[in-house]
Amino acid sequence: MGLEIKIPAVGESITEVTIAKWLKADGDTVERDEIIAELESDKATFELPAETAGVLRIKVAEGETIDIGVTIAEIDGDGAAAPKAAPAAAANATDPITKGEENPQASDQAGYGGKPEGGAAATGTTGQAGGGATVEMTIPAVGESITEVTVAKWLKADGDTVERDEIIAELESDKATFELPAEAAGTLRHAAQEGETISIGATIARIEGGSGASAAPKADAPKAAAATAAPATNAAAGTGSNSYATGTPSPAAGKILGEKGINAADVSGTGRDGRITKEDAQNASARPAAPAAAAPKAAPAPAGNSAPAAGTEPTGNRNVRRERMSNLRKTVARRLVTVKNETAMLTTFNEVNMQPIMDLRTKFKDKFKEKNGVGLGFMSFFTKAVCVALQEWPSVNAQIDGTDIVYNDFCDISIAVSAPKGLVVPVIRNAEALSFEGIEKEVVRLATLARDNKLTLEQMTGGTFTLTNGGVFGSMMSTPIINAPQSAILGMHNIIQRPIAENGQVVIRPMMYLALSYDHRIIDGRESVSFLVRVKELLEDPARLLLGV
C-alpha cells in the first residue's frame, strides 16, 4: 500500500472541500512537493502538494466534495523514491540541504505532525546510523478565517540543532505575525522557503531527533577542534568563522538579486553565519562594470570633439525593484475594494476649533503625566466625544448583518495605526466607560504592540466605530473608507492656523477638518450630520465631556 494523501485542515471553520482540478492524471509519476491538485473551499482555493515521489493513484474524482481528513489519493513510492536513496546517502557528507531526505514510509507514519515509530525506516535514506525519529511540523490553525501564512523569516537555518519550544520561524498572515516553536529537539530541516506562502496544515519543517541531532555537531567538530588548537592560524587564513551559509542568499534574497542582475558574491550578508538576507538584497546595488570605469580614459582621445555621441544611455540609477505583496497588504486591498463596491458610502465634513483643547492640555498636561504616567493627547478627547455622540445616535454605531441591523449599546473604538508591515486597527474595548487616563494608556499599549508586530487577532477584531488620524502625516482633507463591517469612520486631519470669524471679529485659530464617512444604507443624512455636529460641540467646549452635557 502506498502513502495515503489526505485532505489537510485548511481553516478552523472549513469542514469540507471540493476537488476543483487534478493537475496530475491517475498513474502519473510525481515528485515530492509537486502540486498534484487544486482544492476549493467556500472561502479560498488551495494547492495540494505530493508528500513523496512516486506513482499517483487517484481515489476521488474531480468535482467531488469531501470532508477534511478523507483520503483522496495514494502515492506508490516503490518506483520513484528508491533511486533517490543512494544519492541522498552519498550527499550527506557534503550537502546539508539534501541530508534530511525522508523515505515514503517515514512520511506515511509522520502524517500531519505525527511521530513515526521505529527509527530504521526514518533513517534509512539519510545515511545515518541509529534510531532517531523524525517529527514533521505542520502549520497550525491560527484563526478562523486564516487559510494560509507566509514564512516571513527563518530564525534557525537548515541543519541547525534546535531545542524543544525554541522559536524557529516567524509566520505572517493577512492579519498578524506569529512565532513558530520547535515541537521537538533535534536537527532542523526546512520544508518551505523564506517568503513562501503555504496553506494551514501543510508541512513547513522536519526535526530529526536521536542520531539526526547528534550528526550536526560531529560535522562541525573538526572546525571546533582546529579553532581551539590553532586560533592564530585560522584567523590568518580567514576560515575560523566561515560556514556553508556565508555569502549564500536566502530564497527571497536570491530572487531579488536575480531581478536586479546582481551577483551574490558582490553582496555582504548580515544574516546568521553571513547568509544574505532579503534586506541585504533590497539594499544592494549593482557594481559598475569594468568597461565603464575605463570609459573616461578613452574620452579625451577626440581632442576637438565636445559633442556627445548619438544614442548616449542615461547615466543615472534606473534600478526597478519588485516585491511580493504581503498577506496583510493583499487583505487590506481586497477589503477596501469590497467596501467601495458593497456599501452606499459617502462623506460629510465639518471643522473644529482646537483652541479650547490645546489650552486645556497646556494647562494640565504636566500634572496629568506626573499623576498618571502617560501624556494627555488629542486622541482621548476625540474618543470621549465620539462615545458620547454614538450613544446619542446609535445608528452610527450599528452594522448590517444580512437583512438585520445590529445595534451596539457599547462603544468598541478601533484606532487605525500605521505599523511597519502596514495598516492595523486595534480596538479599545468599552471606551465609553474609560477615563481620559484609561484611554491614553490603552492607546499607548496598543500602538506599542502594533509597532512590534505583537497584536493578536482578538485585539484587532470586533470594533464598532473607527478613528483614523491622517493629520499626523500632514493630511489636510480626506474621505476615509469604512472599516467593514462597521458603518462609519471619523477622519482627523492636521491642525492649521487659519482666519475665522468669531464674535464679529476675524481671528486666527488652530482649525482641524473632520470627515465622517458612513454607509447610507442604514445612516441617513440627519444622523450623520447631527453626529458630526455633536462631536464638534464637545471638542470645542471640552467641559461638556466632564459634565456630560
Residues with catalytic roles: 520, 524
Q: Which amino acid is at 51?
A: E
> 54 with 29: CB under 8 angstroms?
yes
Distance CA 103, CA 149 (A): 27
**End-to-end alpha-carbon separation of the chain, Å?**
77
422: left (phi over 0), alpha (psi -120 to 50) or beta: left
Distance CA 197, CA 294 (A): 45
- Residue 426: asked if its preceding bond is cis (omega within 30°), the reply is no
Residue (of 157, 7, 143) closest to 97 by Cα position = 157
Over its C-alpha atoms, the chain yields an Rg (Å, rounded) of 31
Which DSSP category does 274 fall into? Answer: G
Chain centre to alpha carbon of residue 462: 20
Distance CA 21, CA 13 (A): 22
Residue (of 165, 169, 218) closest to 189 by Cα position = 169
Give the DSSP letter string of 397-414: G-EEETTEEE--SS--EE
Distance CA 256, CA 250 (A): 10
Distance CA 394, CA 527 (A): 9
